[in-house]
């Protein structure tokens, strides 16, 4: 008799025994039922994530965002599997507890994954760093009347000021152009690679997170005023606005910051500077048409560095073409000026003449793409194309402008998916 046949014969007998035994078991629960139930609950709790106490809530959330990035630097082309830096894979622990009916305290811890990020690979390496990085770790106290005070590694006020976007296409492309392919080196027209990376010519001047104290007012007619200070030293002030007018949704921010910190979170230092940055996004909800404009300027205390500035715009359409969820189309254009200046052109492999200096840079980018949302799985599938046109300004030792080698255009296509939990 085969094993399968034995199981087939035993199964009806076993089910019959269960049916006859169940009433006897139910009738004989006695006083041990609660103890048995508590023991089983304890076993389940031992195999699950637990809160440290019953007073403060715990929520675990995040997403995984991976893609294939195709690239072409004018002479070489390839494709790498990368972690999408546009909306980096992460997981968060958040929670709060009521102190009174109008006051609560809470915490946020966000860990980002370094999984061969799309701004770390280049022509020499298809593997980036692997590991984890603490993006946020702070506590807060919030009052409905007074506002919110946060302390720890928290977003500066200027962090998201240039990133207002109502197009639902941020995974494929957003204001932070340097996050997709920013690690690749510029190739001269003669075929040689320089030591200047694509990302050196781009920045959207967001403040990122830092060890700061931050205060946000309550919402006042759609506005929130904010200030942050920390490190040694950096401070920001700004305002955010969220509103709806006759089916037109508006999201806008502006921030001003000064930064003299010479040792950032990653151990790197920056040149002291002042930054003014902001963005506005508008969505016509019935039609799905949307637009955003983001712009900023950075003025360095070092007079040898040029004032850097950028403008970025995106046009989009959120269509209802599928039962899966919205289908979001977009086109984008940006111009970024002088984010690379006062650099050694000879040492960077841009010029063959010792003493030549890079005095400025220009980078233009345009692109388009589509994101299909799958609402039942909290998922996005996306594709985005970008074309970069790059130029550098050079001067010799006498500060006289000289001819600049032609830089090859750079192109990327990103195809991937993001799933949230």
- Residue 233 preceded by cis peptide, ω within 30: yes
What string of DSSP letters covers 12-37? Answer: HHHHHHHHHHHHHHHHT-GGGHHHHH
| pTM tops 0.75 | yes
| Residue 267: alpha-carbon gap to chain centroid | 21
In the chain the domains, ranked by start, together with CATH numbers, are 1-47 (no CATH), 61-420 (2.40.160.10)
Distance, in Å, from the CA atom of 48 to the CA atom of 68, rounded to the nearest integer, reads 34
List the Cα angle 335/339/345 in 5-degree steps: 120
CA dihedral 341, 342, 346, 348 (to 10 degrees): -50
Q: Which residue is associated with the tokens 């990103």?
A: 414
Instruction: Tell me how crowded residue 346 is: count the other CB atoms within 10 A of its CB.
Output: 15
- Give the H or E element holding residue 90: strand 90-98
pLDDT score recorded for residue 176: 98
Instruction: Tell me how crowded residue 20 is: count the other CB atoms within 10 A of its CB.
Output: 9
Name which of 37, 116, 31 is nearest 79 in CA terms: 116
Q: CB under 8 Å, gap of 24 or more: what pairs does 110-116 form?
A: 110/134, 110/135, 110/136, 110/137, 111/135, 112/88, 113/64, 113/83, 113/88, 113/89, 114/83, 115/66, 115/82, 115/83, 115/89, 116/80, 116/81, 116/82, 116/83
In angstroms, the Cα distances linking 54 to 40, 57, 302, 408 are 20, 7, 53, 60
- Distance between the two ends of the chain, CA-based, in angstroms? 48
Q: CB under 8 Å, gap of 24 or more: what pairs does 266-269 form?
A: none
Name which of 293, 328, 283, 337 is nearest 313 in CA terms: 293
Question: Which letter, b or e, does each residue of 7-16 get, where b requires 16 or more Cβ atoms within 10 Å of its Cβ?
Answer: eeeeeeeeee
pLDDT score recorded for residue 335: 99
Residue pair 155/140 in contact by the 8 Å Cβ criterion: no
Residue 382 is encoded by which pair of tokens? 């996306």
Residues of the chain falling short of pLDDT 70: 1-35, 41-51, 262-270, 303
Distance, in Å, from the CA atom of 67 to the CA atom of 173, rounded to the nearest integer, reads 13
Q: CB under 8 Å, gap of 24 or more: what pairs does 12-17 form?
A: none
The shares of helix, strand and coil residues in the chain, as percent rounded to the nearest 5, are 15, 50, 35
- Give the H or E element holding residue 231: none
User: Which residues, including other chains, have CB under 8 Å from residue 396's CB and lie 6 or more apart?
Assistant: 353, 355, 356, 357, 402
Residue 141 is encoded by which pair of tokens? 């106290």
Residue count of the chain: 421
């Amino acid at each position: 008799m085969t094993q399968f046949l034995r199981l087939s014969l035993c199964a009806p007998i076993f089910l019959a025994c269960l049916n006859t035994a169940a009433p006897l078991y139910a009738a004989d629960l006695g006083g041990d039922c609660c103890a048995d139930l508590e023991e089983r609950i304890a076993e389940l709790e031992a195999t699950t994530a637990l809160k440290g106490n019953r007073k403060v809530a715990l929520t675990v959330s995040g997403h995984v965002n991976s893609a294939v990035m195709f690239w072409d630097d004018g002479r070489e082309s390839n494709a790498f599997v990368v972690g999408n830096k546009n909306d980096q894979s992460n997981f968060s622990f958040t929670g709060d507890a009521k102190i009174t009916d109008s006051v609560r305290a809470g915490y946020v811890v966000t860990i980002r994954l370094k999984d061969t990020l799309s701004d770390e690979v280049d022509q020499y390496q298809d593997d980036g760093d692997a590991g984890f990085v603490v993006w946020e770790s702070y506590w807060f106290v919030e009052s409905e009347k007074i506002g919110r005070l946060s302390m720890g590694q928290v977003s500066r006020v200027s962090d998201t000021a240039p990133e207002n976007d109502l197009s639902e296409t941020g995974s494929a492309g957003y204001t932070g152009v340097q996050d997709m392919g920013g690690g690749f080196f510029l190739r001269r027209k003669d075929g040689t690679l320089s030591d200047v990376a694509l990302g050196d010519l781009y920045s959207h001047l967001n403040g990122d997170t830092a060890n700061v104290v931050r205060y946000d007012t309550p919402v006042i007619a759609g506005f929130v005023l904010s200030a942050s200070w920390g490190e040694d030293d950096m401070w920001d002030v700004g305002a955010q606005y969220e509103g709806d007018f006759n089916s037109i949704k508006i999201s806008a921010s502006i921030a001003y910051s000064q930064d003299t910190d010479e040792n950032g979170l990653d151990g790197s230092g920056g040149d002291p500077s002042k930054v003014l940055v902001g963005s506005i996004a508008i969505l016509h909800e019935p039609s799905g048409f949307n637009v955003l404009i983001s712009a900023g300027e950075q003025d360095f205390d070092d007079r040898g560095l040029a004032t850097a500035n950028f403008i970025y715009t995106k046009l989009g359409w959120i269509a209802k073409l599928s039962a899966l969820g919205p289908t979001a189309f977009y086109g984008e254009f940006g111009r970024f000026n002088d984010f690379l200046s006062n650099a050694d052109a000879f040492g960077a492999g841009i010029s063959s003449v010792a003493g030549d200096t890079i005095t400025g840079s220009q980078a233009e980018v345009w692109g388009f793409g589509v994101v299909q949302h799958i609402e039942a799985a909290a998922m996005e599938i996306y594709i985005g194309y970008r074309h970069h046109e790059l130029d550098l300004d050079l001067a010799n030792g006498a500060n006289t402008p000289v001819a600049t080698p032609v830089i090859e255009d750079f192109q990327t296509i990103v195809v991937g998916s993001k799933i949230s939990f």
